[in-house]
Chains A and B, each alone.
Chain A
């Protein structure tokens, strides 16, 4: 069984079984695959280098749209313009965090630096956002319903399996955030 992340003298430490590591590796890889920008034949290499993507469209997949939301609520055109300037680097940032967390799973010792912890928390969060879309968690009542699923012997279909995975990643992230808060509280002078 996984152990909750804890903040102590060595920093933030956790423990995951091999099967749990394998599960997380798969989840991180899935979200990375969703976020990989499409390669286009006529892509201007200089634009790509500085993160511009003038051909970008609002994502059609709901989960991707949740990861890369519009910057304005009621202005699709302005949001798209902003997307052209920022979406590529946002995708790359998220992929970077997911890859870093995934690499961390290769080490036996799960001790996280502050940077590692940040990568882990955003990676786990993005995984949870994607799982929540797949589970159709639209409101707090849906979330409560999914949350009731805690017993792995109940996993009978894809949905119940996804719910259990979602609850596992939620538990793991909550413990990580508590450890990060603990770390923040014990470091004087970090507040701006």
Chain B
């Protein structure tokens, strides 16, 4: 993502909250698909955060945290759910111009839980 142009010193605040938000409440074993947002050098950080707030209804702090994770780690799991749910989210994200994919919760990615002991695989 890109920070874009400076609009003035008052428009950009630090997004560092310093808090670690637990993600485990969303990773129930019966919701085995993830919505992943990938970093790109074009989408504005403010825009990505705005989309997370307005589409998912996330708080500003949560939206900024996820946005920074996309920016710094290259990707972030921003929602979980059934395959149909995350696919619907993915299309919505593509509508906004964000680069989104869906994946099974147990494959790829090191975010969230390790998947150890979850039983089912593939």
Partner of A72, one of B4, B59, B101: B101
Could you show 10 A-B contacts with beta carbons less than 8 Å apart?
A69-B101, A70-B101, A86-B91, A122-B95, A122-B97, A143-B42, A173-B47, A175-B7, A177-B50, A181-B49
- The answer to the question of B112 belonging to the interface, with a C-beta cut-off of 8 Å to chain A, is no
Partner of A140, one of B2, B49, B60: B2
CB-CB under 8 A from B49, the residues of chain A are 181
Task: Please give the number of chain A residues whose Cβ is less than 8 angstroms from any Cβ of chain B in the complex.
Answer: 42
CB-CB under 8 A from A178, the residues of chain B are 7, 11, 46
- The answer to the question of B87 belonging to the interface, with a C-beta cut-off of 8 Å to chain A, is yes
Task: Please give the number of chain B residues whose Cβ is less than 8 angstroms from any Cβ of chain A in the complex.
Answer: 34
- Residues on A lying within 8 angstroms of B by beta carbon are 4, 66-73, 82, 86, 90, 93-94, 121-122, 125-126, 128-129, 132, 137-140, 142-143, 147, 167, 170-171, 173-175, 177-178, 180-181, 184-185, 191-192
Minimum C-beta distance from A149 to chain B (A): 12
CB-CB under 8 A from A66, the residues of chain B are 40, 99
Minimum C-beta distance from A123 to chain B (A): 9
- The answer to the question of B122 belonging to the interface, with a C-beta cut-off of 8 Å to chain A, is no
Shortest beta-carbon contacts, A-B, top 3: A192-B57, A125-B97, A143-B41
CB <8 Å contact, A125 and B102: no
CB-CB under 8 A from A122, the residues of chain B are 95-97
In the complex, how many residue pairs between chain A and chain B have their CB atoms under 8 Å apart? 100
Q: Say whether, besides A72-B102, A72-B103, A177-B46, A90 and B91 are in contact (CB < 8 Å).
A: yes
CB <8 Å contact, B44 and A4: no
B60-92 to A contact mask, C-beta < 8 Å, 1/0: 100000000000000000000000000100110
CB-CB under 8 A from B27, the residues of chain A are none
Minimum C-beta distance from B64 to chain A (A): 11
Q: Say whether, besides A69-B100, A86-B91, A184 and B42 are in contact (CB < 8 Å).
A: no
CB-CB under 8 A from A70, the residues of chain B are 101
CB <8 Å contact, A69 and B94: yes
Q: Say whether, besides A167-B5, A177-B44, A191 and B57 are in contact (CB < 8 Å).
A: yes
CB <8 Å contact, A184 and B50: yes
CB <8 Å contact, A170 and B2: yes
Further 14 A-B residue pairs, CB within 8 A, beyond A71-B102, A191-B53? A71-B87, A72-B102, A73-B36, A73-B108, A122-B96, A125-B47, A132-B42, A137-B42, A170-B2, A173-B4, A174-B46, A177-B46, A177-B47, A181-B46
CB-CB under 8 A from A170, the residues of chain B are 2, 4-5, 44
